[in-house]
Structure 1
Amino acid sequence: MEDQRNTSEFILLGLSNDQNIQMFCFVLFLFCYIILLVGNLLILVSILCSPLFNQPMYYFLSHLSSMDICYTSSVTPKLIGDLLRGTKNISYDNCMLQVFAMHFFGSTEVFILTAMAFDHYVAICKPLHYMIIMDRTKCNLLVLAAWAGGALHSFPQLSMMIQLPFCGSTEIDHYFCDIFPLLKIACTDTYITGVLVVANSGLVALVTFVVLFVSYVIILFTLRNHSAEGRHKALSTCGSHITVVIIFFGPSIFGYLRPPTTYPEDKIFALFYTIIAPMFNPLIYTLRNTEMKHAMRKVWCQRLFSKEAHN
């Protein structure tokens, strides 16, 4: 008899069964994914190939771009392929891998956003000690801590899902393997597991959001003593980060800081933190950041001119 804990595959019900809606979603999400990849790769290469990489803010931004690519790639290619082929099956192993990847890369991104907020706080509130506090060793430690935090968050989530028995319906009412829809089809009482999931995911989202909120309240309070030019520059930099935090954290907090059940709106909110927010991150950070625009122009113009000269 087949092990009830190891159902061979699940069926992802996706966003809609309507063929026209599926084709529209295919074109839309393919476009979004291409924009996301191009935008984040442009930022990543521009930072790596310019002196900006030596500045903590852009060092963290390069890691954020990497996380955006990994995070979205754990869901979006599968979604696009399913919309194109009309198939919605996913193997048990790939489903569990998707659960782990989503939570690992997503929580690592959350902790990197927190590290960026800390960098902004030090730059504005302790400018004379900035280079001492935010040296490369401490930046590396913050990134390492973000990865460690991602692992500490995602491994317990994966462990709880692997232990669930699936012996009845294998239809997951979502477009990827999310935890609450999996809890819904498990053939056992999942109340305790659901509480543990909310305690893990919900508290990570809530605590980091509160830390970010408090840090920016302190930053805005400190900016009162700065010159008008200094305030404008600081607000421009912080504004980009605050926008990214709101777009990412709003749907995430709704998605996980609540009773462990599913709602029809879950798929719409999930689109924000799996596709929309990572797609807008490069635009937000480049359109409002003069240094980033100069670096991108310099790096890519040099590459273009050197290529033409070589030809």
Structure 2
Amino acid sequence: MLCDLKKPLMSVQNAASWGYFNCRNKSWNTDILKKSSFPVHLLPEVGDSGSIAGRTTCAWHGIPKGAKVGIALGDFQCSVYSCLTERTDAVLNISTSAQLTISMPLGFQPPEAPDPSSAVTYFPYFNGDYLAVAASLNGGNVLATFVGMVAQWAQELGFQVQESAIYPRIIQAALAQKHSKLSVHPTIFGERHLPELLASVSSIGASELSLGHVTRALCRGLVENLCSMLPVQHLEELGVRRVLGSGSALARNEVLRQEVERIFPFPVVYGKDVDAAVGAAMVMFHSK
């Protein structure tokens, strides 16, 4: 529409997210699609991420005619680009869900057929590079569910407590407990590679049943779950030297930050907010 192209155009990043796309030769798996009678003539053309799709054919909301238009990029890749400044950085984002992302070495090529049982997914990035991502379904949403459970228990006991008042209280209680032998596997929402996986609690001792002990163990479990998907040893082998922490759950939860720093043997830097819009602008600026 903007460039009056004869056929829609999309980036390798977005094409890969559709499926039935070979990232190595940047082409659709038309043979497979044709066998299912898919109308392959409707598939968009695919271009390199960060390239120019065309120019505006008319003025549009203050943008003049003839302005360059970048090819549509992947939201996730742009979010990472907005904060990943070094190849030796790992990006840890814990918001509603949680992701641990690293840039793979130059020349890396993912397996031709993705393994659905693998906890790590490879995403095409920029300039032929790939990102390795452990994307957990369990992050801040688990903490929110825990807070909701505490509020419900209080209500069942005849007390009315707002969830907004519970969250800071459980964090303060956990800060008073530096260690907990409790082991919480927090996967109440399962995982993409193990959808049937449920949460569990083990190593329960009579002396560690306080709200502080449970909250700290829960925070530690969230970080350990991510590290079980993309182990620290693997990060070290790939040359990771620093972790960039971001996300609302990390920002508001000091206990979670403490557990991140306890588990990762790298310096952890906070405040590196991820923003897809900023990343997209940076990509196009750097492609000049």
Fold conserved between structures, TM > 0.5 = no
Structure (1 or 2) with the greater helix fraction: 1
Larger Rg: 2
Greater RCO structure (CA 8 Å; 6+ sep): 1
- What band does the TM-score fall into relative to the shorter chain? 0.3 to 0.5
| TM-score relative to the length of structure 1 | 0.31
| TM-score relative to the length of structure 2 | 0.33
Structure (1 or 2) with the greater strand fraction: 2
